[in-house]
Structure formats: C-alpha cells, structure tokens
C-alpha cells in the first residue's frame, strides 16, 4: 500500500472508545435501575436503531427517541411526547455519554507518524456533525486529524459508496490513493472497497471475519502499513 497518500479514519471505535463510553454512560444514567435485562435491551435498541438510521429509515433525532421508546417500558416508565423524550435524552444518557468520551491512546501517535511520513489524514464518520466534532475536540484530536466529514453534513451514510466518494472529493484525493481505516467490516471495509478506496479493518477485540486479510490490531501498525 505504498501509493497511499491519504488515510481516512473512522471515529467511533477507531479514534474514540465508543463502546466503553456507551457502557459507562448507561451505568451513570440509570444507576441502580440498570439490570442485565435493561442493559441488553439498551444495546439491542442502539444497534437496531442505528442500523435503521444508516439505512435511511430514521432521522438522527428520531433514532434517539426510538431507543428510549424501546427501553422505557423495560424500565417500567411511561413514554412521553417527542419533546419530553428529547429532554430526557439530553439530561440522561446523552449527558452521561458526553462525559464518557475518551480517545484511544494509539490514535494521536499514529496520526503524527503518518504526517511525518508525508501521509495526510482526515475523518469520515457516521453521526451528527455537532456531536462528532465535539468528540474530536474533547479527545484532543480535532486540530490534528485534518478535515472532518460527517454523515450528518454530507447527507450520506457509510456503507453507501457515495459517502466515501464525496469525502474523497471534498479532500481532493483520488479514491485509489486513499486508505480507509474502520472497525466495522461491512460498514467500513466493504463500504470503502465498494467505492474504490483501499481499506483495512481495525480489529481491536479480535473478532475479524476469518477471510479478511487486511487487518490491524492497533493504530500503531498503521504507519508501517502505508510506508
């Protein structure tokens, strides 16, 4: 992959530890009300509603409300109006999630090493513009990582190949000279390849599909890969 001039990075699961943040947040939000049943319902709702948002079936705010509508009955709580759900999200899970944002320790050093090797970096992330920009600011990477392209601002969501193609266009890069790094095989790796980019799976937890050969376990492996 010596012709790579730009590394395009996913955010959640790659630069920021979304899984830990989400677990911390649901614990902080619900405290003693968090039973194993409620926790399972919460993460099932997260996965289902985000998949529906990726497929274009739900708006960003609506997927949040849908997650609360899924889980409130399990908690034995009534489901309020949209405005009430929005307020509940903002003061509850949403606030706790924000407080739980931490970057992965390998992110900053890997980005600096890429820059030292003459490789540009940028971010392409599914999610709302405000939230994803705030995450990068909180974890100290916003000024380092280069252009930030979000599904919210592009109106296109991975794995739609157009999301990758428009991102390349915005950063002035030929897709064939761009390597995408993501932690979700179908959404990130297959999506990027479908658009003609190179792609590598960041498999932090060792769950990569056995037939995938472009796999790294840490961002520390990235600079050697593009050199």
Chain residues binding Mg ion by CB under 5 A are 10, 12-13, 183
- Please name the residues in contact with 117: beta carbons below 8 A apart, sequence gap of 6 or more: 223, 226, 227
Give the shortest CB-16-to-Mg ion separation in angstroms: 9
Which pairs with CB-CB distance under 8 Å and at least 24 residues apart come from 211-218?
212/185, 214/189, 216/181, 218/106
d(CA 53, CA 186): 15
Question: 53-64: buried (b, 16+ CB within 10 Å) or exposed (e) per residue?
Answer: bbeeebeeebbb
Give the shortest CB-31-to-Mg ion separation in angstroms: 28
Give the shortest CB-195-to-Mg ion separation in angstroms: 17
d(CA 113, CA 11): 18
Residue 14 or 119 with smaller CB distance to Mg ion: 14
Give the shortest CB-184-to-Mg ion separation in angstroms: 5
Residue 160 or 183 with smaller CB distance to Mg ion: 183
Residue 13 or 80 with smaller CB distance to Mg ion: 13
Residue 54 or 85 with smaller CB distance to Mg ion: 54
Token code pair at residue 93 = 């899970």
Give the shortest CB-56-to-Mg ion separation in angstroms: 18
Q: In the bound complex, which residue of the shown chain has the CB atom lying closest to Mg ion? A: 13
d(CA 89, CA 57): 20
Residue 30 or 222 with smaller CB distance to Mg ion: 222
């Amino acid at each position: 992959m010596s012709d790579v001039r730009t590394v395009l990075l996913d955010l959640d699961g790659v630069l920021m530890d979304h899984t830990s943040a989400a677990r911390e947040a649901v614990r902080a939000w619900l405290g003693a009300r968090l039973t194993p049943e409620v926790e399972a319902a919460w993460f099932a709702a997260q996965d289902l509603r985000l998949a529906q948002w990726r497929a274009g079936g739900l708006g960003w705010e609506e997927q949040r409300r849908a997650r609360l509508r899924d889980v409130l009955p399990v908690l034995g709580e009534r489901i309020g109006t949209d405005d009430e759900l929005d307020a509940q999200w903002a003061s509850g899970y949403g606030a706790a999630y924000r407080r739980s944002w931490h970057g992965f320790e390998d992110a900053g050093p890997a980005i600096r090493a890429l820059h030292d090797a003459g490789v540009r970096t940028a971010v392409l992330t599914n999610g709302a513009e405000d939230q994803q920009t705030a995450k990068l600011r909180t974890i100290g990477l916003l000024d380092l990582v280069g252009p930030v392209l979000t599904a919210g601002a592009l109106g296109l969501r991975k794995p739609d190949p157009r999301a990758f193609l428009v991102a390349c266009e915005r950063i002035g890069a030929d897709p064939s000279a761009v390597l995408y790094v993501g932690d979700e095989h179908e959404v990130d790796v297959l999506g990027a390849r479908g658009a003609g980019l190179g792609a590598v799976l960041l498999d932090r937890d060792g769950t990569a599909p056995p037939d995938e050969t472009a796999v790294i376990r840490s961002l520390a492996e990235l600079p050697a890969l593009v050199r």
